[in-house]
Amino acid sequence: MKFVSWNVRGLRVCNNFVCSTMWDLQKMACSYRPSQGASGGLLIAWDLAEVEVWSTMSFEHVLAIHGRFLKTNEEFHVFNVYAPCDNQARKVLWEFVSGRLGPL
């Protein structure tokens, strides 16, 4: 299993056109959450030959996907989080994410 995390500062805009310039969307798929101003944009991309994604969820500061690996049939959840700097807001966010994860 391979995961790549890339903090792309300054991308600002993410949409299907931008994704199609980075990947062949016949082989790849993606889900994104647009930035708010110059920060907070999130992107998850996956190889369609390796992964079947059942659902995507987008919340403030969070982008998540749920699916399975095709070779092993193993189910997975990926949460991509852009946490706020404010301590109280970050605490609220982590409680929200923890509640969404539930028992795995």
Q: What percentage of the chain has pLDDT greater than the value 90?
A: 26
**How remote is the C-alpha of 27 from its chain's centroid?**
18
Residue entry with tokens 């109280």: 88
* Average pLDDT rounded to a whole number, residues 48-73: 92
Does position 1 have pLDDT exceeding 50, yes or no?
Answer: yes
Output the CA torsion 16→21→23→28 (10° steps): 20
Residue 6: which pLDDT band, with cuts at 50, 70 and 90? low
Which bin fits 10, alpha (ψ -120 to 50), beta or left (φ > 0)? left
Q: What is the pLDDT of residue 87?
A: 92
Q: What percentage of the chain has pLDDT greater than the value 70?
A: 85
Instruction: Say if CB 44 and CB 58 are below 8 A apart.
Output: no
Instruction: Say if CB 42 and CB 33 are below 8 A apart.
Output: yes
DSSP state of 80: E
What is the three-class DSSP state of 93?
helix
The rounded mean pLDDT for the chain is 83
Q: What is the pLDDT of residue 104?
A: 46
Maximum separation of any 2 CA atoms in the chain, in Å: 42
Instruction: Say if CB 14 and CB 35 are below 8 A apart.
Output: yes
